[in-house]
Chains A and B, each alone.
Chain A
């Protein structure tokens, strides 16, 4: 009796253990496979000259696309970080529970909208109705719509993790709500907020669909003009050039993917160290 029960438990444990291992291995395998393919093809096809030549014909370089991506994401961060952070602070600290849950519902809905829909929406409004044509500003605003919910939610979440006792300590000392936030609570949540912004940057870097409809594409380096000028970006190269029947196009597409991957991996590395430093400081 006791014996068979012990056997059953052991068997159950092994099945559970084996299942989790298998699931982990599957996830890791597809990740490693993807990263390895991109790096392999990317490194083989990459030429340093790509960094300082622009795209031309079926190949050429990536300078226009790299600068374009940086410009688009930079503008998008400049707009979305203040919006998202202030919005997150509002939801976490000031909104009543009902208003907060309405805003939370809306941002969750917004982050659930397929990015191509956001792109098309931006096309109809900014590109057509407002007459901006395919342009940097239209592309950045489309990215902003995608990035704001991430920043808002991670800001809110990291402020919610700041213990209530700390707020009471601040209030009990005669701080107003906003003093408590700027002097005490903000600092405790800061690394979580930065994490959210960096995550949003990584997402913005990798977006394609919203930009196809709003930013257009250009083989020239971006100008500072916000409207009426199309702009190039890395994901466009990946998306378009991989489908062309030329080896040099494929080389360009893989190189673009590789550059993106390296930048995004680097951001995640920074994220990890940030998170770890925060962890080791508070524990």
Chain B
């Protein structure tokens, strides 16, 4: 099941450059929350702080508090955090030396699932959830890189789902894909929110409007406005939000 995320006064730096200037927001469980904003506004950095990936970049630094349910993310072991908060990246990045099957199964193997049939079951279930099963069931042991870009991205989603995280972070998951693949990913996001809390970064406002229950608008490392998607797009409270969604900048 999904879990909620509570973010308190989150600040992040690359070296001396501050990219997040104190973000506080409540991300509800089993909902899709979209983060929108112009390039360089800190939206990617924000979700990379949620699963503690930001600190792996050289000179990356974080302050503030992130809570997953009742657990403080920054007091947990970073590796454990990333098992419960999965991530899908902007560019599809399946493991090129592994087969389709092993790409999905590798997280299970690392998690200690030795039983082959249980493993296979979970791989199939994850590939079905990612709407990829029918396309790959006859070639599970072919290399993952033989798939198309859109299929690779759905494979990455299946890989993230296999370890059954509570939260799924998606960093512009469709921006490298064609419109049909994009549509499939969006359908997928909608179907997944039953079981997961989803945070999706996008600079496509139509996409945010289509998939998200709540939307947050970021600008220059600050959270300008956060609310229900429909009200944010139809009755923005802040002028800067209005300027952005009406296309006056960004």
Q: Which of B90-98, B115-123, B134-142, B183-191 contacts the other chain?
A: B90-98
On whether the beta carbons of A179 and B110 are closer than 8 Å, the reply is yes
On whether the beta carbons of B95 and A168 are closer than 8 Å, the reply is no
Q: Which residues of B contact A (CB under 8 A)?
A: 51, 53, 56, 58, 79-83, 86-87, 89, 91, 93-98, 106-107, 110-111, 143, 145, 156, 159-160, 163
Query: Which of these, A169, A172, A174, contacts B110 with CB under 8 Å?
Result: A174
Whether A166 contacts B95 in the complex (CB less than 8 A), given A171-B53, A174-B80, comes out as yes
Residue A175 CB within 8 A of the other chain: yes
Q: Which 7 A-B pairs have the closest CB atoms?
A: A174-B83, A187-B97, A172-B87, A174-B82, A165-B93, A169-B93, A173-B107
Chain B residues with CB under 8 A of A281? 143
Residue A273 CB within 8 A of the other chain: no
The A/B interface has a contact count, at CB < 8 Å, of 64
Residue A184 CB within 8 A of the other chain: yes
The CA of A187 and the CA of B80, in the complex, are separated in Å by: 24
On whether the beta carbons of B79 and A176 are closer than 8 Å, the reply is yes
9 further contact pairs, Cβ within 8 A, besides A173-B160, A174-B82? A166-B95, A168-B56, A169-B94, A169-B156, A172-B160, A173-B107, A174-B107, A188-B97, A281-B143
- Residue-wise, chain A 171-192 has the 8 Å CB interface mask toward B (1 for contact) of 1111110010001100110000
The CA of A73 and the CA of B74, in the complex, are separated in Å by: 51
Closest A residue by C-beta to B84: A174
Cross-chain pairs A/B with CB under 8 angstroms, 21 sampled = A165-B91, A166-B95, A168-B53, A168-B89, A169-B89, A169-B94, A171-B82, A172-B82, A172-B86, A172-B87, A172-B160, A173-B82, A173-B83, A173-B159, A174-B80, A174-B81, A175-B79, A184-B95, A187-B97, A282-B96, A282-B145
The CA of A165 and the CA of B153, in the complex, are separated in Å by: 13
Chain A residues with CB under 8 A of B107? 173-174
The CA of A281 and the CA of B193, in the complex, are separated in Å by: 37
Residue A13 CB within 8 A of the other chain: no
Q: With a 10 A CB-CB cut-off, give which of B95, B107, B143 has the most chain A CB atoms.
A: B95
Whether A173 contacts B97 in the complex (CB less than 8 A), given A97-B58, A168-B53, comes out as no
Contact residues of A between 168 and 226, Cβ < 8 Å to B: 168-176, 179, 183-184, 187-188
CB A168 to nearest CB in B, in angstroms, measures 6
The CA of A172 and the CA of B91, in the complex, are separated in Å by: 14
CB A265 to nearest CB in B, in angstroms, measures 30
CB A179 to nearest CB in B, in angstroms, measures 6
Whether A183 contacts B106 in the complex (CB less than 8 A), given A169-B89, A172-B87, A188-B96, comes out as yes
Chain A residues with CB under 8 A of B106? 173, 183-184
Contact residues of A between 106 and 152, Cβ < 8 Å to B: none
Whether A174 contacts B56 in the complex (CB less than 8 A), given A165-B89, A168-B89, A169-B95, comes out as no
Chain B residues with CB under 8 A of A97? 58
The CA of A166 and the CA of B97, in the complex, are separated in Å by: 11
The CA of A97 and the CA of B59, in the complex, are separated in Å by: 11
CB B80 to nearest CB in A, in angstroms, measures 7
Closest A residue by C-beta to B102: A183
Chain A residues with CB under 8 A of B83? 173-174
Query: Which of these, A165, A169, A174, A183, contacts B163 with CB under 8 Å?
Result: A174
